[in-house]
Amino acid sequence: MEYPMDETDKQIMQLLQRNARMPVSQISKEISMSQPSVKERIIKLEERNIISGYTAALNLNKLNRGTTTFILLKTEYCQELVDFCEQAWEVTDLFRISGEYNYLIKVQTASIGELAEFQDSLMKLGPSKSHISLKNILENRILL
């Protein structure tokens, strides 16, 4: 891998992972490094696209989208599916996968009733199989 990162880079990334809004001044204190150096390193991590962005984590329960479901889909209408998913607000993730089904879709709905409606609208694209999450144990975790 051609992206040398030292321990300091890692520390900065860990801090920003936990709180992306942490001001440079605080990072500077936490890792005992001057603010301009911290700034420079953050810019390098961004320029080399190691940090690809900063995002707010929204509580989907509070947004009335607390039911997580994974749908495995087998379709020959690949472009239609991608277009459909891009339009559908329920869809948060879409993967082209190996195995028996060719797509994995992650959806967030208000309830399992709403999920039925979503799945009905998918039906014309091909057979699908749904796995409802009974408990979200770990999410979006990246151990550095």
Within positions 90 to 119, which residues make up the interface with its own copies, using CB under 8 A?
Answer: 91-102, 104, 108, 112-113, 115-116, 119
Whether the CB-CB separation of 31 and 8 falls below 8 Å is answered with: yes
Report helix, strand or coil for 105: strand
In the region spanning residues 115 to 144, those forming contacts with its own copies, defined by CB under 8 A, are: 115-116, 119-120, 123-124, 127, 129-144
Binding mask of the shown chain, residues 55 to 94, with x at each position contacting its own copies by CB under 8 A: xxxxxx-xxx--xxxx-x-x-x-x---x--xx--x-xxxx
- The smaller minimum CB distance to its own copies, of residues 6 and 62, is found at 62
CA 65 vs. chain centroid, Å, equals 15
Backbone angles phi, psi at 116, to 5 degrees: -60, -45
User: What is the total count of residues that contact its own copies (CB under 8 A)?
Assistant: 76
Burial (0-12, 13-18, 19+ Cβ within 10 Å), 72: middle
d(CA 101, CA 128): 8
In the region spanning residues 19 to 48, those forming contacts with its own copies, defined by CB under 8 A, are: 19-21, 48
Closest separation between CB of residue 25 and its own copies, Å?
Answer: 13
